[in-house]
């Protein structure tokens, strides 16, 4: 079974620039999450999709972050403009299958200079 | 919302000894408790999980216990090996909260040879 795919794996940008991350879920997984993991901390949920609809975006800084999952499969997360404190690993995860388990992608490590 | 506390934040054990990590949760509606292992620079990997209808689950050298009344659950690793060195995260999920996972702060485990 193919896992969750993410790209790019690494990104370095300057503050005030824009950046976008892409996630391809495990086939058939309807639920997709974006997490932010700051070094030394646990993953923090940014947004949850069920198919192409948003279930929870209460912790998404909507003034600069946006996400979409237009066709209910792939998803993109955008930051515009980036701040220094956005430096983190952005993890995509999807949930589904027989046991309804949640699997993470490899993450995108973002460094904002 | 759900709040998950995890202790200790760091744990150093001698190879062959046992390691125990404890978590508490606040939402009594939470019914699924996974544990993830994250090695340096890698994605969190699901290692074991427990649902609220059981009190204990074991898989080779790892086991998880759940006390619903006290709202705490623990991870036990026996006969630790150097490859068990990693950061371990507990999490709790509640259907009432849209099935989102709330993570603990993580425990950095170091197994000394």
Q: What is the pLDDT of residues B28-78, one digit of tens each?
A: 999 999 999 999 989 999 999 999 988 999 999 999 999 999 999 999 999
Answer whether A48 touches B (CB < 8 Å).
Answer: yes
Residue to substitute from A42, A44, A89, interface B, most B β-carbons within 10 A: A42
Contact B101 A41 (CB under 8 A): no
For residues A15 and A82, the answer to whether their CB atoms sit within 8 Å is yes
Mean pLDDT is lowest, of A77-91, B7-21, B82-96, for: B82-96
Residue A105, pLDDT > 90, answer: yes
Q: What is the pLDDT of residue B1?
A: 79
Dist. CA A97–CA B82, nearest whole Å: 32
Q: Residue B9 has what DSSP assignment?
A: S
Interface test with B, best of A30, A31, A40, A43 (most B CBs within 10 A): A43
The phi and psi torsions of B38 (rounded to 5 degrees) equal -125, 110
Q: What's the CA angle centered on A41, arms A39 and A45, to 5 degrees? A: 110
Residue B70, SS3 per DSSP? coil
Confidence of residue A97 (pLDDT cuts 50, 70, 90): confident
CA distance A21 to A32: 14
């Amino acid at each position: 079974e193919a896992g969750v795919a993410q790209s790019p794996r690494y990104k370095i940008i300057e503050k005030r620039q824009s950046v976008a991350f892409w996630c391809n879920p495990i086939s058939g997984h309807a639920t997709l999450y974006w997490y932010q993991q700051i070094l030394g901390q646990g993953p923090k949920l940014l947004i949850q999709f069920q198919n192409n609809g948003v279930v929870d975006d209460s912790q998404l800084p909507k003034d600069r972050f946006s996400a979409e999952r237009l066709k209910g499969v792939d998803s993109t997360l955008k930051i515009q403009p980036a701040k220094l404190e956005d430096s983190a690993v952005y993890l995509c995860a999807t949930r589904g299958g027989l046991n309804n388990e949640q699997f993470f992608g490899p993450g995108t490590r973002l460094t904002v200079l | 919302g759900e709040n998950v506390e995890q202790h200790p934040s760091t744990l150093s054990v001698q190879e062959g000894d046992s390691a125990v990590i404890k978590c508490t949760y606040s939402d009594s509606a939470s019914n699924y408790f996974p544990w993830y292992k994250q090695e340096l620079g890698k994605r969190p990997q699901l290692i074991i999980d427990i649902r609220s209808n059981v009190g204990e689950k074991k898989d080779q050298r790892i086991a998880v216990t759940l006390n619903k009344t006290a709202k705490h659950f623990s991870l036990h690793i026996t006969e630790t090996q150097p490859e068990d060195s990693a950061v371990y995260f507990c999490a709790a999920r509640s259907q009432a909260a849209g099935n989102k996972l709330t993570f603990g702060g993580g425990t950095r485990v170091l197994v000394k040879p």
